[in-house]
Every structure is written in C-alpha cells, then in structure tokens.
Structure 1
Amino acid sequence: MRWALRHLNEFGDTDLFPRPFELGIMAENQAKVIAHVRALDLPQYKWSEPRRALVLKDELAFRSATQLDPLDAVVFAALIRHDCKRLDARRGDDHESRVFSYGVEPRADGQLSGKDRYREFWQRNAELAAEHAVVLTTDISISTIRSITIRSSRAEDAGVSSDAFHAYVNLLRKSSVTTSRGIPIGPHGAHLLAEVAFASWMISWCKRGLRSRGSSMTSTCFAPPRRKPGWPSIRWCRFSIL
C-alpha cells in the first residue's frame, strides 16, 4: 500500500490525463487511506466509473483512454505491486528478447519498470523485419479483456490469488461497460495485464516456427525467411483486432 501511494504520488496514475489533486491529499493522509483499503473485500469491491476520453492513436485514428477514480487507482496500483512478479513470470520472456519492451523491477521510489528496453526492442524488430518475407503487426490494445476473462478462467492461470483475480476481472468489466474494449489504456499497471493476456498467443506462434515479439499495444509476427507458395508478396501487413 505504501508503495502504491508513493508510485502514484511520484509518477501519477497515467500520462494521458491531468494529475488528480486527490493523489496529493491521499499521500498526506497515508495511514487513513491504507486502513481503508486494507478493510476492503476485494472480490466484492465496487470499482467506480472511470473517466474516458478519445486520444490520438496515430495520425489518422483515435483510441479510448481511461483514468481510474483516485481511490481505485490506489487499489489497482497496490494489486499490481503485489502481483507484478507473478504476472511478469507469466509473460514467458526468459531471454528478454522475444516479448515486451520493458522489464518489471519495482523500486522503493515507486517505479514499476526496470531497464527501458523500448529502443532495443524496436531496433531488434527492424532487424527481424529485414530477414523475413512477411511481417504481421496487430493492434491488440482494444481486445485484451476477452483474453483475460476467457484464457484465464482460473485464478492460477493468471498467476494471482483468487481474490485479486476477481478484482481484476471486475475492473476490466467496469471499464469496458457492456462491450469488450480491452485493458483500460492509461493506468501504468494496465500494460502488464495486457502483455500477460497475449503471452500465450505469442508463445504459441513461436512454437509453430514463427518469430513473435510484442508489447502492451502491438504484437508482431515474423514469417520464416523463405517465401512459401501463396504467401502475400507485401513485406508488411497491418490490421487491428476488433
């Protein structure tokens, strides 16, 4: 809990919305906030309606971004801190070269991410693209709730406790209302959930002889170097999973 409050106070809850003034107030009343959150019944916790807005996805498209209620942000950050090592292990990135653009390394100052591998990640993607006949890039950010709720039907599949699992699922359902719109884009810890949701998919690609790399927003599949009959002649294919 103390780490969650420090994380939010130092780094904010998201880089897509203005910083809520309530974060500073909660940091000044840490003992009361911690006592309140510890008394919560996680599986039955009622997440508040999040703030939503359209943000630029690229030059021609938008995506829906989410900002949690300040108290919800504390609960979510505390859950992620408690489960981050288990979730990180589920990503299946043993050699830090196949999946994901950063490592999980929670620090005392509230930082969640370890070494920034963003540049190395995309440089390696560019190298692999030059070696393969077909590269398929998918936008996965809007479809991850379906994978979380279906692929991880049991708590142990997600690597977290039953109480935490139900809390995550309830949050995803609340942020998505009645449609599957994916992990809420915005909260820092949501990136880790998104990557866990699609880890099994990308690992499955690798087992079928396809190179697969991904981050919380995109998944890229590299076909074998030799071109097979019937394969597209284009080098890059791109689509969004809707």
Structure 2
Amino acid sequence: MNLQDTSLEWALKHLTKYYDSDFYPKLFEYEAIAHHWSEVKNHIREIDLSNYVPRTPFSSLAFKAGGTFRVVHQLDPIDAIIFVSLVYEVSQSIEDYRIPATERIACSYRIKANINGSFFDQDSDGWNNYIEKSEELVNLYPEGYILLCDITDFYNQIYLHRIQNIVSEAGGSS
C-alpha cells in the first residue's frame, strides 16, 4: 500500500499549520521538509506501508492538574506525515459511518477536511453542541439524571485492534 499525492499534500499543509503536538514546540524539520517537498514526497510515496516500521516516538511526561502526569508522544516528522495522510485517506469514510450530526447524539467535533489543512467542520462546535444538548435534556427530564463523561484519559487505553476493526467496518483500509 502506498499513499496518494493528495493525502500527502494535505498532511504537509495540516502539519505546517496546526503542528503535530499540543505539548511540544513546532519542529524545525517541517520547514526543511517543505523546502525539499518534492523529493521528500517522492520518498514517502515509494514506501510500501505494508512493510514499513515507524520510528519509536519521543516520549515524555506532562503535568496534569492535581499533580499527576500523562505520557505524551511526538512522532518522527516523516512518520507524522504518513500517519496524518493515512487518517486523511479514511476520514470521510469514518465521518460517513458516524451517527449523523443532525441527530445530536455524539456532540463531538465532526470531520470535514478542507483545502487549508483543517480536519474539522468549521461550522460545528462540539463543545457548544454538548452544552446545548445537555441543557435541552435537563429541561426535558427535570426529575431525571444527567451523566457527564470526560474520556480524555481514555485515549491511551484504546486497543489498536478496536480502531482497525471500526476503520474496516466504516469502509476504510486499516
């Protein structure tokens, strides 16, 4: 399996505009890659992803509120381009597979990649949708209960095979 030109182009736009991490500073390597993009893109396009072994990511601990820590990673820049390209290639299949936004059941950000490198629908605010839906349910069920759930600490516990299965089920290639 090899990556498509459009996904590679989009990945570079995304990574140069939004970076690859919320925890680490922007890597200077992305500017060097952009400067030699045609050569780098050709190199990445020639990689057979079915046999490719990514580099070990840089790992460190980041402080959390309350004195605890979380493990954070930063991918090698080439691996980040590959990963973002792969996500871009399956993103529409994943969004099409999801419960429609109009049903307001999953109040999260919606995928709508644009030419500027953004992954998310700029007209949809997951947080405000969540607050509005919560207030609507409080008014609809004044004697009921509302369960709030923050899954931020759940991400590192998601098994890879679960992600592969859902991507395959959604119509993408895992």
Query: Please, what TM-score do these two structures have when normalized by structure 1?
Result: 0.58
Pairwise CA distance, 1:60:
4.3
Pairwise CA distance, 1:73:
0.5
Distance 1:134 1:69 in 2: 42
Secondary structure, counterpart of 1:44 in structure 2: coil
The answer to whether the Cα contact below 8 Å between 2:94 and 2:167 also exists between their aligned partners in 1 is no
Equivalent runs, 1:37-76 vs 2, <5 Å = 37-76=44-83
Compare relative contact order (CA 8 Å, sep 6+) and give the higher one, 1 or 2.
Answer: 1
The answer to whether the Cα contact below 8 Å between 1:129 and 1:135 also exists between their aligned partners in 2 is no
Pairwise CA distance, 1:96:
5.7
Pairwise CA distance, 1:81:
1.4
The answer to whether the Cα contact below 8 Å between 2:109 and 2:121 also exists between their aligned partners in 1 is yes
The answer to whether the Cα contact below 8 Å between 2:101 and 2:110 also exists between their aligned partners in 1 is no
Q: Larger % of strand: which? A: 1
Which position in structure 2 is the counterpart of 1:31? 38
The answer to whether the Cα contact below 8 Å between 1:106 and 1:114 also exists between their aligned partners in 2 is yes
The answer to whether the Cα contact below 8 Å between 1:87 and 1:160 also exists between their aligned partners in 2 is yes
Pairwise CA distance, 1:44:
1.4
Which position in structure 2 is the counterpart of 1:156? 168
Code of the residue aligned with 1:142 in structure 2: it is N
Distance 2:37 2:75 in 1: 19
Provide the identity percentage. 26
Equivalent runs, 1:196-215 vs 2, <5 Å = none
Which position in structure 1 is the counterpart of 2:5? none
Pairwise CA distance, 1:125:
5.2
Distance 2:130 2:67 in 1: 22
Distance 1:69 1:40 in 2: 15
The RMSD of aligned alpha carbons is: 2.4
Equivalent runs, 1:10-159 vs 2, <5 Å = 10-95=17-102, 97-115=104-122, 116-124=124-132, 126-127=134-135, 128=137, 131=141, 132-135=144-147, 137=149, 139=151, 140-144=154-158, 146=159, 148-150=160-162, 152-153=164-165, 156-159=168-171
Pairwise CA distance, 1:87:
1.5
Pairwise CA distance, 1:20:
0.9
Secondary structure, counterpart of 2:65 in structure 1: coil
Secondary structure, counterpart of 1:133 in structure 2: coil
The answer to whether the Cα contact below 8 Å between 1:26 and 1:33 also exists between their aligned partners in 2 is yes
Distance 2:90 2:30 in 1: 22
**What CA deviation, in whole Å up to 9, does each residue of 1:27-72 have, x standing for no partner?**
1111011101111111211111011122244334322121111000
Q: Larger % of helix: which? A: 2
Query: Please, what TM-score do these two structures have when normalized by structure 2?
Result: 0.79
Query: Do the aligned partners of residues 125 and 155 (structure 1) sit closer, same or farther apart at CA in structure 2, a change above 3 Å counting?
Result: closer
